[in-house]
Structure 1
Amino acid sequence: MVQTNDKTTPLFSIRDASVVRGGTTILHVDEFDLAEGEHVALLGPNGAGKSTFIQLLTREVFPLYRDEPPVRFRGQARPRLDQIRATLGVVSATMHDQVRVHLPSWEIVCGGLFGTVGLPLHGTVTADHRERAYDALERLGIADVAERDIMTLSTGQARRVLVARELIRDPQVLVFDEPCTGLDPQGMFQVRETMRTLADEGRSVILVTHYPEDIIPQIQRVLLIKQAEVFADGPKDEILTNEVMSSLFDVPLEVGHHGEWYSLRGAHK
């Protein structure tokens, strides 16, 4: 059950945040608010700062000290890490690369309760835990893979098992970090449908991607990051244009619009 929170206080609020590494600013965010229940897509070139932006939210990296804390979570200047982890679920292609164990899918999903890949050595799995794992898989349309070895699944199926692994904790926000990397068209379709399902349940979806094709119709806001700064932030119909996308990637590009979906391709003479 997705909880209801005070809608007047942003889920995340960032003001004048700079992340510096080795004397170089790898990300600066002047101002950003994300409302409870809001969806947003982050686009930008490789190395622009998209992953660092997400790590600011998850508190995996910290900005330079300011008298007024630059990043707030539900109005809190110093939230506990367990509060953030209880609220956010994160799925990434990198996480998928780390799954190198021969375990049934339901055990991978249960691992989300313990922060492990599979079941912890000394953890106790109850009948309720197992039922919740099966329920998460069923909600994503893959209950039939529950007993199958994760290593025998297609890439798209395995990616959805990892979504179920986060879903078992009932997070209110799902972060998808380049979720379609390495997937064939069928896998891409399935992952995008999974994002739609979760958005329709009332969960916030934060999507990090290079491609407008990944932006599900439920996401109406797009944030562009270029050269370690926010390049643009606004409604996707204003952001996803030939001019803006060409400026973002520094090559001539054409944006296609197909119903509720967008696409991107090189503009050739």
Structure 2
Amino acid sequence: MTAPLIEIRDATVVRDGRPLLAVERFSLTTGERIAVLGPNGAGKSTLVRLLTRDVLPVHTPTSAVLVDGDPRLPLFEVRALLGIVSDVLQSDYDRAVRVEDVVLSGFFGSIGLYRGHDVTAEMRQAAIHAMREMGVDHLARRTIDTLSTGEARRTLIARALVSDPAALVLDEPCHGLDPGAAWHFRQVLSRLARADRALVIVTHHVEDIVPEIDRVVLMKGGRVAADGPKWDVLTSARLSDLFGCPLEVEERNGAYRIW
């Protein structure tokens, strides 16, 4: 059998003696489309940082974080396989860097381009393709600090796509967007979910779980509270317990919202 693209086993992340995240098992297979849903403080962003190796789990005989079946895959290869876009990355790019250079920097895992970076003609073509895919090619010579939040986020997704990753991980993709911009951005999410690569949407908004998502993982208190098919997990009872208030779930054509 082919190894999962991502697999976490018995992983606990501790800070200042307090566990932030404890995951018995989590996996993502090639081409799978999932959402990780939970309130603020549930451990979602720590899970993303565990995948990027910005944090490491407490070592035990059974703990493991495997990417492409390898527990020791070099960091550069991890970042090539997993295209990750987060609020932290967007904050890092609050500077006058041209959109084209932002996208090209995805090849080097850097914030912008530096003198030692050797940008090839093939890289520039890939950057043009990624910018076109995300609808930001007309902004190529603008600097990212002059863009709207939605434009900047689409630029960072192009940055993640430029190296053709096996999985795209989007942490709170609609954060900071007004209702109109969020609606348009969710159309982008649907388009990304129809591509061949795996997609992970990490969010506390049920509305971000576009119809193309098949599986939902609920997180609460740093643990996985539920993991399964979307229609089994997104129930009024489960979400009321997850967010600690009475909620009613409404589904329409594969899209969900709560009251």
The normalised TM-score by structure 1 is 0.90
Aligned to 2:90: 96
Identity %: 45
Q: 1:168: how far off?
A: 0.9
Q: Distance in 2 between matches of 1:77 and 1:151?
A: 37
Of the three residues 171, 180, 188, the one matched with 2:182 is 188
**Count of residues in Structure 1 that have an aligned counterpart in Structure 2:** 259
Q: Distance in 1 between matches of 2:25 and 2:97?
A: 44
The Cα offsets for residues 169-202 of structure 1, whole Å up to 9 and x where unpaired, read as 1111111000110012332233322222222221
One-letter code aligned to 2:167: V
Aligned to 1:112: 106
Aligned to 1:75: 69
Of the three residues 199, 220, 231, the one matched with 1:237 is 231
Q: Distance in 2 between matches of 1:17 and 1:176?
A: 21
Q: 1:221: how far off?
A: 0.6
* Matched-pair contact (CA < 8 Å) for 2:79–2:109: no
RMSD of aligned residue pairs (Cα, Å): 1.7
One-letter code aligned to 1:170: D
Aligned to 2:51: 57
Higher mean C-alpha deviation, range 189-198 or range 27-36: 189-198
Higher mean C-alpha deviation, range 222-231 or range 191-200: 191-200
The Cα offsets for residues 233-263 of structure 1, whole Å up to 9 and x where unpaired, read as 1111111111110000111112121212111
Q: Distance in 1 between matches of 2:102 and 2:65?
A: 32
Counterpart check, 1:254 vs 2:248: yes
Higher mean C-alpha deviation, range 191-200 or range 152-161: 191-200
Runs of 4 or more off by more than 4 Å in structure 1? Answer: none
Q: Which runs of 5+ in 1 are unaligned?
A: 1-6
Aligned to 1:132: 126
* Matched-pair contact (CA < 8 Å) for 1:211–1:264: no
Of the three residues 4, 13, 34, the one matched with 2:7 is 13
Aligned to 1:159: 153
Aligned to 1:219: 213
* Matched-pair contact (CA < 8 Å) for 1:41–1:215: yes
Q: Which runs of 5+ in 2 are unaligned?
A: none
The Cα offsets for residues 104-154 of structure 1, whole Å up to 9 and x where unpaired, read as 311211121222222213323333332222111111222221222323322
Higher mean C-alpha deviation, range 136-145 or range 125-134: 125-134
* Matched-pair contact (CA < 8 Å) for 2:76–2:109: no
Q: 1:31: how far off?
A: 1.9
* Matched-pair contact (CA < 8 Å) for 1:213–1:261: yes
Q: Distance in 2 between matches of 1:179 and 1:14?
A: 23
